[in-house]
Every structure is written in structure tokens, then in C-alpha cells.
Structure 1
Amino acid sequence: MEPVIGIIGGSGLYDIAGLEDAHWQQIQTPWGDPSDQILTGTLNGLRLAFLPRHGRGHVYTPSTVPYRANIDALKRLGVTDIISLSATGSFREDMAPGDFVVIDQYIDRTRLREKTFFGPGCVAHVSLAHPTCPRLSEIVAQAAETAGARVHRGGTYLAMEGPQFSTLAESKMYREVWGADVIGMTNMPEAALAREAEICYASVAMVTDYDSWHPDHGEVSISQIIETMGGNGEKARGTIQALPSLIPSTREVCPHGCDRALEYAITTTPDRRDPALVAKLDAVAGRVLGETK
């Protein structure tokens, strides 16, 4: 199988130098429209599909991003691996603005979002004990280092609802009591939905600030974030440029089982499944639902 890498990130990342046969595609999904059209092309032999998470021009809030449609659309394009790039605040002195943190754990504090493709009529339970793919995460870490980023391998991402930033009390609790490393608003339910869709997922948290806990930095400032994002964006584009030399031309079975996450996850018996919901799951879960009809 040929690897197809999906990139979900900010609007400024889709200017990928050297992307051949580049064109924007509108993908229809049973979960509605994705955030935007998807830019597809080939970079030094590696097929890429880039999706602006908030839409070009940043039109979606973190709570209104159509996460299910985004993941479904990438699955329909044949994406085998998703790399998430997102801005975050830091709870750690050593994870400084400008650093990249390759995430391996999440604490999900979101509450207003649709978090699963499944539901009444087709129930499924996937494991999120290890929500990101170690194989893909290591590739991304190496690519980021090649791009000149200071990279931290491993970190816990606190996903908050937003769109407001944390209170000082919340920031201290997340850091001192819960032990989170970074905070952001977009990786959940994105990571969970990628797991349900059997797509390997890796996340790079690009640190822009110290949230509000740091006594020497005060509250989060949009101007500070935008300034730091400029440098982070350059390193993020360099990370993407480094991927073709690190990703094998043949996509083997994931050694961590990400691409088989639904193997035993669906608990509704075939005779009790809702045909309408099963039809909506054709891309996400067609591999296993097709086997059990």
C-alpha cells in the first residue's frame, strides 16, 4: 500500500513549496462539509492531503470545527496517516515558546462536540489508552528536528473547550494537580475520531506561550501568540518538507494496531444495526462492517 499523509493544521501551512499536481478538492461526507476543500498533491514522491482545520481565513471556532467530516473526508481520500499541527500553551518551563512537543497523551475537557462516528444502532468502543501512533510520532519528531525545531518527545495535551483562554486557577490546576504539559483547543475529538477511522495519528503541539500560570509572563496575549506562530509556522513547513525522506514508499501494517482499531470494537450484532448509520460509516468503518454483513 502506498502511504498517503494527511496534514491538519493552520491556514498558513498549505503553501507547501515543491508540491506537484497541487489542487483543491471538495469532498462530500455524510457528516456534512469538512472545514474547507482539501489540498492534494505529491511532494518528492510522497502523496499529501492538507486540510485547514479552521478553514481558510480561520472561520471555525475550536468548538465548531466539523471534526467528523474532516476525518471522514481524509479517509475517503485514502489517507493512511494524519499529522496534526496546532498551537498550544505550555505548562512546563522547559517547553518554551517556539518548542515543538510530540504528544502521546490527552486529557479531554471538551464538552460541546460530537466525539464519535458511532451511536444508537451501531455501537463501538475503541481503545484510547495510547491515542497517538508511536511509529508516526517518531517520524514527525525526526522531521521537526531536521527543520530546526527543539523537540520534546512525549507530552500530555489538555484539550479545553475554549474559545476563551484559561483562568489562572484552571491553569495552575492543569499544571500542578493534573500534570498536563501543554494546553490547546483542537486535538480532541480529532485524535479519537482518527482512531475510530483506523488512521494512524500523530500530533505536534507548537508552543506559543506559557498559558497564564507563569509568574514572569502573565496572561496569554494574542499579539505574543501571533508573533511566535510566525517562527513556528516556518519550522512546521520545514517539518512537512522533511517527511518524504523519512516515510517509506510502502505503507506496512501499523505495528501498534492503529489501522485495526475497530477489529473487535463494534458490539452491536449485525441483525440489530441501523442501516442508515451503517451507510454513513462506509468510509470510516467499511473494512469491518463489510466483513460482518
Structure 2
Amino acid sequence: MTTRIDRRFAALKAEGRPGLVTYFMGGDPDYETSLSIMKALPKAGADVIELGMPFSDPMADGPAIQAAGLRALKGGQTLAKTLAMAADFRKHDEDTPIVMMGYYNPIYVYGVERFLTDAKASGVDGLIVVDLPPEMDEELCVPALKAGLNFIRLATPTTDEKRMPAVLSNTSGFVYYVSMTGITGSALPDTTKVGAAVDRIKAHTDLPVCVGFGVKTSEQARAIGASADGVVVGTAIVNAVANVLTADGRKTADPAEAVATLVGGLAQGVRQARLAAAQ
């Protein structure tokens, strides 16, 4: 069974360019603003949307995404509301893939079976759950695959040849290569090393490989996209929201507009990426 993610990457391959995968935090700074950001992403050039599930202890995230999660929780965002946001988005967009990204704890509390049923009904296509290793596949990964959702795994510079098959065993949709060790939003990776890492992963799988962590500009998106099937941007988008909020959360400008401007530039970069590779 093919998912929206499979279809989108097949279309990108036919188009001869990498995709732009955009992460934002569900509910930051409030439900309505966040939904307007989500709706703005495809129009600005996003190919895949990662919808962040706020959690009170986001250990893999840097300060920007942690702060976004806290703003969302303070604004009353819950996992049920994040699923509702996906369903609201689907009323206007049937094609853009949605990947829910976050930690296992809120899903566990919600109930795995109930969550998978509700995620599927809400129009969610895939999951990235950063704190579930392959050894725990029976918890969520295998049930998710049975429910028709892609389960997307992270590979890192420390994922060696011995570990790679375990990481890829039940992965579907795409592989998310975290191009540096450390927390989200760190410095940009060395693009030459990224190319070698993508080749290394591709020796083990036919799945698309998307690269993230640290991409902030159109030029960086273009450089990473020259060797990857997709470029993932998260912290820069979350910062674009934070930059138009005061300390007490009031808006000084429209967050959706700020995000759309940034994503428009990044989309231009990925669309030029294959040209860069060919030169």
C-alpha cells in the first residue's frame, strides 16, 4: 500500500529534485495561529510537513524547539488537539504528507491503538518518534506499519555499518539523516560529509534519504539538496515564529507570513539543488 509520503517522493524523483520537509510545533503559540502556519507551508513550497507534538521533556531538541513546545503547552495544546489540527488541515489539502514528530510518552498515555486509529482518521501519514529505538519496534513501529502509517527512523553520523540494518529494518517512507551529533538547531554540517553519509545509507536501502539539523538558508538547502532526496528544516521555522512574538507571547507580526517568507526562500534553494549538483 502506498502512502502520500511514497507518492510525494516518487513525484519529486520524476521532477528531478529533492523535497523540502518542514517542521513546526503544533499549537505554537496557539491553535489557530499554528493551523494558519500549517496551511501556509505547502503554498510557500513545502513538500512534506512534520507536525511537532509538544512534550514537556524534549531531550533531543535544542532551546528553540523546547521553547516552542512550552509555548504550545502553555497555550493549551494536547496530543488530541494536534491530531485535530491534522484533520483541520486535511479539509483543505488532500495531498501534502503529514508526519507527526515527537516523543513516545504522550502517545503511550493516549493509548497506542487509539492513537493509531485517530492519527489515520485525521489524515496523518507517518510518525517520527525520536526516543523509540529499533529494539522497541513492537511498542509502536510494527502496529503503526500495520495501521498503514509510515514509521520514519533517524540515522546519525554515529550509526555504523553494524547498526544500520537494525535502524532500517522496519523503516518506511524515508530515512531521516541527522547530519550531526547533538541537539536540534546546532551548526550547519559539512556538506561534503553529508554526501558521503547519504551514499552510505543508500547502500543499505532504496528509501529516500532526507537530511536535517542546522539548515537555515536557501544556499544551505541548495547545498544539502545536491546529494539528498530531501532537506529538513525545523529550528529556522520555529525561530521565525518566535521572532514575531513578545516575551509574553503577543504577536508583533503574522507568524504564518514570517514562516511563508522563510520557506519560500528555502523552497527556491531545493529547486536549484540538482542544478548545483550537475554543474
Sort the TM-score into its range (normalised by shorter chain).
under 0.3
TM-score (norm 1): 0.27
Which structure has the greater CA radius of gyration? Answer: 1
- Structure (1/2) with the larger strand percentage: 1
TM-score (norm 2): 0.28
